[in-house]
Amino acid sequence: MDLKDKKIAVVSFNNLIGGVSWHIRSIVSHLNGHGLSFKVLLCSKVADQMRDAIASDGAMDPRNIIIIPHAKKMLFLPFIAELIGIFHREKFDIVDAFDDQTQVLAGLAARFAGIKVFLCHDDGRFAPSTVSWPKRMLYRGGNFFLKSYFTRTIAVSNGIAKGLIKEGLRPRSRVEVVHLGISPLHQGASQELTYAGFMSRAPVIGTLSRLSVEKGLDRFIRAAALVLKEVPTARFVICGQGPQEHYLKALAKELLIDDRLEFRPFPGRTSIKDVLQTYDIYTLPSLREGLPTTLLEAMSMARPTVASDIDGVREAIEDGIDGILVDTADTQAFARKIIGLCHNVPQAIAMGQRGLEKVRSSFNVEREMRRLREIYHHLR
């Protein structure tokens, strides 16, 4: 097969709108036509929304997105047989699968279909709130069983790569770190940036997140209650949907801050810049992350950030230089870091500017896509 003519299946069985669908969209929109031809296979409870997200703004022809009804995944053998049939029919050269579950199911089908090249994209481990413990163990076992078949694993952070190797799920020689890249949302000169809340002495502290346990939003709300004692004019915003919405709203009411905390639906991709522009400080209180896209996007808008001191996030932020790392489980420490930025606006703005430069230099989408293009072309 000519190296300049490869047909690639990008596969995801993820049930959550967010990082994976945006990452897939970035890959197909940047690389399709560069000697590479992509089709996307989806089997998900939210497949229609994922298709719309991946194909938005002409990033991909929706006709090149194949959806398998989610109910079929419940029937293991017929589902594997259907995947095998698709792989045979489409004659893919490479299968690129996202997340543990997809890697196992698509890996078995691809192996039986005789596909020699299987690439894994790993954006992070399963969240306990989305997959039960027995299923997580099943997919972990499947990953271990298939590890010699997986040609290459692309980890979006060093933390993910180290975890895969330490757990014995991948040999070191087949894991490569290719940091997630984004196009900075702010493209103009620094003086064009605005911080309306800082200027009016009513800072807006916000986050963009799925409302689920692993995102640690209860920590954000508890810290907000402490911040308001020192900065009573502050306002707080949570953008997102998810299973914890009712609980989080009840917690805000219990802490008597529901009038200072606004819940908004998660914005579309084209609206994220507008949302981040309304924030003065961005927070990420997650318990676990791969390499969070929303954090990079906030930094690309020169928003000063306060984020969890965890793997993945540490690769994006140098503490005290281009952002702040903190143990967000310690809500008093979390609140003190936010209060410090509210009281020292020049320092906060300077930190945000350095975050913007970090994204431009180290998390550039062109750099990521250049490396992925090389990998796709040279896998055989």
pLDDT in tens, 215-241: 999 999 999 999 999 999 999 999 998
Whether pLDDT at 270 is above 70: no
| pLDDT tier for residue 4 given thresholds of 50, 70 and 90 | low
* CATH value of 190-362 in 3.40.50.1220, 3.40.50.2000, 3.30.465.10, 2.20.25.90: 3.40.50.2000
Same fold, 6-181+364-378 and 190-362: yes
- Sheet with strand 94-98: strands edge to edge: 65-67, 36-42, 6-12, 94-98, 117-122, 152-155, 175-177
In terms of pLDDT, which residue wins out, 298 or 135? Answer: 298
Is-contact 153 122, C-beta < 8 A?
yes
Q: Which residue bears the tokens 């894991």? A: 175
The answer to whether residue 1 scores a pLDDT higher than 60 is no
Residue-range domain boundaries for the chain: 6-181+364-378, 190-362
Write down the pLDDT at residue 188: 63
Average model confidence (pLDDT) across the chain: 91
Q: What is the pTM of this model?
A: 0.88
Question: Has residue 2 got a pLDDT over 60?
Answer: no
pLDDT in tens, 23-63: 999 999 999 987 999 999 999 998 998 999 899 888 899 99
Torsion sign (Cα): 325, 331, 336, 339: positive
User: Is the predicted pLDDT of residue 3 greater than 50, yes or no?
Assistant: no
Domain 6-181+364-378: which CATH number of 3.40.50.2000, 1.20.1300.10, 3.40.50.2020, 3.40.50.1220: 3.40.50.2000
- Cα–Cα distance for residue pair 85/305, rounded to 1 Å: 47
Higher pLDDT, 121 or 194: 121
Which is nearest to 220 in space by CA: 184, 176, 257?
257
**Banded model confidence at residue 175, pLDDT cuts 50, 70, 90:** very high
pLDDT at 67: 97
Q: How far apart are CA 86 and CA 249, in angstroms?
A: 44
Q: How far apart are CA 120 and CA 150, in angstroms?
A: 7
Q: Return the closest-CA partner of residue 175 out of 143, 197, 207.
A: 143
Helix, strand and coil in the chain, % to nearest 5: 50, 15, 35
How confident is residue 266, by pLDDT bands cut at 50, 70 and 90?
A: confident
Q: How confident is the model at residue 136 (pLDDT cuts 50, 70, 90)?
A: confident
